[in-house]
């Protein structure tokens, strides 16, 4: 989620409460990551200096301290200062290339990245700088790191509907450069999917995939709106669908892939603990689910730790990978390549429950204080 999608609460993200495993990375597909939230403190400082943009801290340690959120308003402040520092096509290019290197380190073989152009244009950044920068980064990511990165810009829920139309029109110019879908992100509880029904009709007409956020802060009605009004090909999050058995059946029957982010959900207070996460129930209902990082730098997570969290609550990583192959908005050739990677890997070699009960308990303890917005 981005800052405007933080919902009714956010919990403090700590640096020391997650563990990494020594196991070599296995192949992963990531379909839900906000590229603006992948910027490392060192990179943020570099970009800010380049753009003569003032930050409230001048060391990596100081930036990391900013991610220890005091309250909801502080979370919004951190998101704004991070995204406001990104101003040029080269900034956007660098963000994609750097995250591709990070994702590859964790075994990613394919990534669909999200960016929020409407918010940037409100602050004077040109549409062409945004799209060309991210698209250039995706091309370079493949050349340098061997990770195919395709792009799915988000319509901002709080934006006027006309801004959504403008985003889709701009995206069509970059369709051959890796823009494959259009998402919907932001304040889910305040702006239901139906607001953008006509925008997503244009999304379909232009041949883009529909990949809205829904069912994270708002309940199953948000998920139903996403699949009925926006004709979602995938739903980012979707975990609140468990509250409606009929909706669970429909998602399974329609093979709607859900892009789930366990540790992000824990950080934002959507779930109280990993043991209470809805992912096992969704999988048991026959719904294809993927696992992603959402906002990795903002919430001190990475692709390895997200998968470790899923494994620790009994999820088979092979079915997560297969759901990624099914849900990816890629070409037939790429899908065949991804399927071949999955079929060639010995999934039985992955040990289960890589996160100990003590570590899972620490997740809950370190995110225990829910902070209400002022």
Q: Which residue has the higher pLDDT, 12 or 112?
A: 112
pLDDT above 90 (res 22): no
Q: Do β-strands 209-214 and 154-156 pair in parallel, antiparallel, or remain unpaired? A: unpaired
- Residue 62 falls within a domain, yes or no? yes
Query: 133-191: per-residue pLDDT in tens?
Result: 999 999 999 999 999 999 999 999 999 999 999 999 999 999 999 999 999 998 888 89
Measured from the Cβ of residue 176, the count of other Cβ atoms closer than 10 Å reads: 8
Q: Is residue 353 scored above 70 in pLDDT?
A: no
Residue 355 lies in a domain: no
> Is the confidence at residue 14, as pLDDT, over 80?
no
Which of 216, 297, 306, 322 is flagged as catalytic? 216
Tell me, yes or no, whether 170 lies in a domain. Answer: yes
Q: How, if at all, do strands 209-214 and 234-237 pair?
A: parallel
Per-residue pLDDT, 268: 82
According to the model, what pLDDT value does residue 21 have? 44
pLDDT at residue 243, rounded to an integer: 97
Q: Tell me which of 279 and 69 has the higher pLDDT.
A: 279
Assigned token pair, 302: 């990475």
Predicted pLDDT at 365: 41
Range(s) of the domain holding residue 127: 30-343
pLDDT confidence bin for 371, thresholds 50/70/90: very low
Give 366's pLDDT tier (boundaries 50, 70, 90).
Answer: very low
How many other CB atoms sit within 10 Å of the CB of residue 314? 12
21 in a structural domain: no
- Judge contact between 102 and 298, C-beta under 8 A: no
pLDDT per position as a tens digit, 23-68 = 678 999 999 999 999 999 999 999 999 999 988 888 999 988 888 7
- Rounded-to-integer distance, Cα 361 and Cα 21, Å: 17
Residue 122 inside a domain? The answer is: yes
Pick from 75-89, 216-230, 292-306, 325-339: least confident: 75-89
Domain count, the chain: 1
Cα separation of 343 and 215, whole Å? 32
Active site residue 216: yes
DSSP string, 122-155: HTT--HHHHHHHHHHHHHHHHHHH--EEEE-PEE
Are the beta carbons of 38 and 92 closer than 8 angstroms? no
- Residue ranges of the alpha helices (H) in the chain? 41-50, 60-66, 72-85, 89-105, 117-122, 127-145, 161-172, 197-205, 220-228, 245-254, 262-267, 279-284, 303-312, 317-327, 332-344, 357-366
Quick one: CA dihedral 41, 103, 307, 20, positive or negative?
negative
Model confidence pLDDT, tens digit, residues 87-145: 999 999 999 999 999 999 999 999 999 999 999 999 999 999 999 999 999 999 999 99
The string of pLDDT tens digits covering residues 239-278 is: 999 999 999 999 999 999 999 999 989 888 889 999 999 9
**Cβ contact 320:306 at 8 Å:** no
Q: How many CB atoms lie within 10 A of CB 24?
A: 8
pLDDT in tens, 294-329: 999 988 999 999 999 999 999 999 999 999 999 999
Q: Rounded to the nearest 10 degrees, how much is the dihedral formed by the CA atoms of 323, 334, 184, 130?
A: 150
How many CB atoms within 10 Å of residue 253?
10
**What span, in angstroms and rounded, lies between the C-alpha atoms of 352 and 68?**
31
Q: For residue 7, tell me if it sits in a domain.
A: no
Whose CA is closest to 227, among 271, 258, 205?
258
Distances (CA, A) of 333 to 90, 204, 366: 30, 22, 44
Query: Quick one: pLDDT at residue 23?
Result: 60
Looking at the chain, the whole-number percentage of residues with pLDDT higher than 90 is 74
- Look at residue 16 and tell me if it is in a domain: no
Angle at 333 between CA 327 and CA 336, to 5 degrees: 60
Residue 291 lies in a domain: yes
Whole-number Å distance between alpha carbons of 13 and 75: 10
């Amino acid at each position: 989620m981005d800052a405007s999608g933080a919902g009714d609460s956010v919990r403090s993200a700590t640096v020391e409460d997650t563990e990494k495993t020594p196991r070599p990375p296995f192949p992963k597909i990531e379909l839900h990551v906000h590229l603006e939230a992948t910027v490392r403190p060192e990179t943020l400082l570099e970009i800010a200096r380049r753009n003569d943009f003032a930050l409230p801290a001048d060391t990596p340690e100081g930036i990391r301290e900013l991610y220890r959120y005091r309250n909801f308003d502080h979370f919004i402040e951190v998101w704004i200062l991070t995204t406001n520092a990104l101003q040029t096509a080269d900034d956007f290019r660098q963000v994609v290339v750097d995250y591709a290197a990070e994702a590859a380190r964790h075994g990613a073989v394919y990534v669909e990245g999200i960016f929020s152009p409407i918010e940037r244009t409100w602050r004077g950044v040109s549409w062409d700088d945004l799209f060309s920068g991210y698209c250039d980064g995706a091309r370079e990511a493949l050349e340098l790191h061997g990770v195919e990165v395709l792009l799915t810009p988000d319509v901002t829920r709080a934006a006027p509907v006309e801004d959504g139309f403008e985003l889709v029109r701009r995206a069509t110019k970059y369709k051959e450069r890796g823009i494959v879908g259009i998402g919907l992100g932001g304040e889910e509880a305040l702006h239901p999917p139906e607001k953008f029904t006509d925008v997503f009709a244009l999304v379909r007409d232009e041949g883009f995939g529909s990949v809205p956020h829904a069912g994270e802060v708002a309940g199953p009605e948000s998920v139903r709106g996403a699949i009925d009004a926006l004709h979602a090909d995938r739903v980012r999050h979707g975990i609140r669908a468990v509250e409606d058995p009929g909706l669970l059946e429909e998602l399974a029957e329609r093979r709607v892939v859900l892009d789930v982010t366990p540790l992000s959900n824990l950080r934002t207070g959507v779930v109280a603990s990993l043991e209470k996460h809805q992912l096992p129930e969704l999988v048991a209902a026959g719904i294809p689910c993927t696992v992603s990082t959402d906002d990795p730098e903002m919430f001190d997570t990475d692709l390895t730790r997200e998968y470790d969290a899923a494994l620790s609550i009994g999820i088979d990583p092979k079915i997560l990978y297969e759901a990624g192959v099914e849900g990816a908005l890629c070409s037939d050739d790429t899908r065949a390549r991804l399927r071949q990677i999955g079929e060639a890997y010995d999934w039985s070699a992955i040990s289960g429950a890589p996160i100990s009960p003590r570590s899972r308990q620490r997740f809950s303890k370190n995110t225990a204080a829910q902070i209400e917005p002022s």
